[in-house]
Amino acid sequence: MSKKLLLVCVLLALTVSFSVTMAQDAVPRGGTIVVSEGQQAAHPNNFNPYAPDPTRWTRGTMYESLTLFNPVEGGKPTHWLATGYEYSDDLMSLTYTLREGVKWSDGEDFNADDVVFTFNMLKEFPAMDRGAIWQYIDNVEKVDDYTVTVHLNQVYTLLHELIGNPDNLTIVPEHVWSSVEDPVTFTNPEPVATGMLTEVVAVNEQVLELCKNPNYWQMGTDGKPLPYIDCMRMPVYPGNDPANFAAANGELDYIGNFIPDIEATFVAADPEHHFYYFWPGGAVVQLYVNTTKAPFNDVAFRRALSMAIDYDSVANIGMYGYTTPANSTGLGPRNESWYNQAALDKAAEYGLSKYDAEAAKAALDAAGYVDADGDNWRDNPDGSPINFKVQVVNGWTDWVTSVQIMSQNFQDIGLNNTIDVLDFGVWFANLQNGSFDTSIGWSTAGNTPYDFYRAVLYSPLIGTDGLANGQLRGRWTSEEVDTLLESFVQTADEAEQRNISDQLQMIYVENVPAIPLFPGPTWYEYTTHRFVGWPTVEDYYVQGSPWCAACRPIVLTRIHPIEDMTGQ
């Protein structure tokens, strides 16, 4: 615990010294950044951060969270409305020290009452508790005006991450929200918030325009309040094509869209000013196999499938070369510091996650999957024919192409299979209730490996109704894994957590509950016609995607116009 506190102090000291030494540097200010992140229909006037899908940029940049966790730096905390947090020694309480001097955009002071009020509102209205944080919380106590203690009802040492996620919890002002009768259906048309962009200039069928908070608490390196920019503007483009056209035209500054053939369409339009970086930090996409059915219940068969897939073609053709093949542990680059080399070595020993059709055939032969009835397709060891389907969502062209490649790969090693293209609703229901053979699907990515393994392996996620929540689609479970996952969040000792993570990775490699394909690329493009300070490939200080609510506030602390645009 003291280690965490020490880290906080060091960071604080760094911040202070940084702002002292840099205080004199003038930074160009002003201007309006133009953003596009896939808004295709009218912007709703709905600045309630607890709405399922509120107006863009409501979370993080308008309503702020206590601590932000940077997905790029393995979840390193950036203290925001809180200056630090600490678990008690018995891990049954989590105490936040709040920042003093923060003002709401209407000029009132921010303090512990607002934080306690927000927590209790989520308790009273579970429909607003997106992160289900109250399943771990007993009560939230105001210690003094700038100290709040969260008392847990069970040990859960990742609670600070759940609380820090702006999609789960952002602080709302008690003096405004306490008079709201039903916060669930409140559209909050005149937002009062602590964030950088709080002034709503326009929210209509064509554009969202937000401008800076006159009372913002955070100072720039020039000693004046952030942000350096004045406003952000987000036009509506119905469909990808008009948005990509505007991007190539240099009309946009900050973009989070999928752009096909990006080098030729976007970069080539102006190589001096147009950049992108698709950090592969998204959730790993996997081929899920239904382990309750033969032949997928046989680990030898699953291993053979893992050898049969042409991962490079999937990444280069299916995913346009925007990502790279995944490794057998299921963890992506976001958890790179957690990789267990022993597990990776074990995977190499088995030949997993490496395209080798001959090895796959040999593995199938050895396990007894041979052609018994002479139809040129392999059969089960008991002689019954193998014929399975690979499910995919209709219209998700990258996934459909990937599945076509894999289906062909499986046919090449003698496995009779067909592709089943389904509407999203049907596809999703099939995965939940287990009526599928194999299917492509996403997983979960978090700052620690816990999020991935919990979502994919934790057996309590199969509800009493028999539906698999999370991504427990293959339904491969074990008591050992459940115990490991539970002990991961029972300890705050990172060495202990690493030990557990190592074991989980080894189990994943040994049992192949699903076949990892590629980590999801995160869409992010930017232009430097007017503004600079963006995350770049060399200095990727935070995930660039503007739709990432935990990331864009950090981007906004850095970007500024090339030349002063004040008053323009």
Q: Which residues contribute to the site for another protein (CB under 8 A)? A: 40-42, 44-46, 48, 51-53, 126-132, 165, 167-168, 184-187, 201-202, 204-207, 209, 233, 235-239, 242, 246, 282-283, 393, 423-426, 428-429, 442-444, 455, 461, 469-471, 520, 547
Q: Quick check: bond before 52 cis, omega within 30?
A: no
Is beta strand 231-235 parallel, antiparallel or unpaired with respect to 32-36?
A: parallel
Q: d(Cα 39, Cα 73) in Å, to the nearest integer?
A: 28
Residue 426 CB, shortest distance to another protein, in Å, is 5
Provide the b/e sequence for 195-223 (b: ≥16 CB within 10 Å): bbbbbbeebeeebbbbbbbebbbbebbbe
Return the number of the residue (295 or 333) whose C-beta is nearest another protein. 333
User: Within 10 A of 337 (CB to CB), how many other CB atoms are there?
Assistant: 11
Min dist CB 520 to another protein, Å, is 7
Strand order in the sheet with 514-519: 417-422, 388-393, 438-441, 284-289, 514-519
Q: How far is the CB of 126 from another protein (least distance, A)?
A: 5
Q: Which is nearer to another protein, 280 or 414 (CB)?
A: 280
- Closest CB to another protein among 318 and 520? 520
Alpha-carbon distance of 248 to 252, in angstroms, equals: 8
Instruction: Report, in Å, the least distance between residue 12 CB and another protein.
Output: 30
Does the bond joining 235 to the residue before it have cis omega, within 30 degrees of 0? Answer: no
Which DSSP letter does residue 142 get? Answer: E
* Nearest residue (CB) to another protein, 315 versus 548: 548
Query: From the CB of 452, what's the least distance to another protein, in Å?
Result: 11
Q: How far is the CB of 223 from another protein (least distance, A)?
A: 31
Cβ neighbors of 530 (< 8 A, separation 6 or more) are 31, 33, 253, 561, 562, 565
Residue 4 main-chain phi, psi, to 5 deg: -65, -40
> Nearest-CA neighbor of 471 among 496, 445, 489?
445
User: Which is closer to another protein, CB of 21 or CB of 204?
Assistant: 204
| Least Cβ distance, residue 354 to another protein (angstroms) | 25
In the complex, the smallest distance separating the C-beta of residue 543 from another protein, rounded to whole angstroms, is 11
Query: With respect to another protein, which residue has the nearer C-beta, 126 or 385?
Result: 126
- The nearer residue to another protein, 40 or 384, going by C-beta atoms, is 40
Residue 447 zone, left/alpha/beta (φ > 0; ψ -120 to 50; rest): alpha
Q: Which is nearer to another protein, 96 or 136 (CB)?
A: 136
* Inter-helix orientation angle 494-511/341-350, to 10°: 10
> Toward another protein, which CB reaches closer, 218 or 432?
432
Across 343-437, where does the E strand assignment appear? 388-393, 417-422
State the nearest-atom distance from the C-beta of 207 to another protein, in Å: 4
- Looking at beta carbons only, is 242 or 381 nearer to another protein? 242
Q: Which is nearer to another protein, 167 or 298 (CB)?
A: 167
Residue 295: which residues within 8 A CB-CB, separation 6 or more?
301, 369, 380, 386
Nearer to another protein (CB atom), residue 239 or residue 383? 239
Please state the closest distance from residue 427 (CB atom) to another protein, in A: 9
Q: How far is the CB of 242 from another protein (least distance, A)?
A: 5
Q: Which two tokens stand for residue 519?
A: 């980590």
292 by Cβ neighbours in 10 Å (0-12 / 13-18 / 19+) ranks as exposed
Query: Environment class of residue 560 by beta-carbon count within 10 Å: exposed (0-12), middle (13-18) or buried (19+)?
Result: buried
Comparing CB distances to another protein, the nearer of 183 and 533 is 183
Q: Which residue lies nearer to another protein by CB, 449 or 520?
A: 520
**Shortest Cβ distance from residue 153 to another protein (Å)?**
16
Sign of CA dihedral 427, 431, 435, 440: positive
Question: Token match 């645009």: residue?
Answer: 565
Q: How far is the CB of 46 from another protein (least distance, A)?
A: 5
* Residue 527: CB minimum distance to another protein, A: 16
Between the alpha carbon of residue 244 and those of residues 38, 271, 459, the distances in Å are: 10, 16, 42
Using the 8-state DSSP alphabet, how is residue 226 labeled?
S
Tokens of 473: 């689609």
CB neighbours of residue 8 within 10 Å: 19
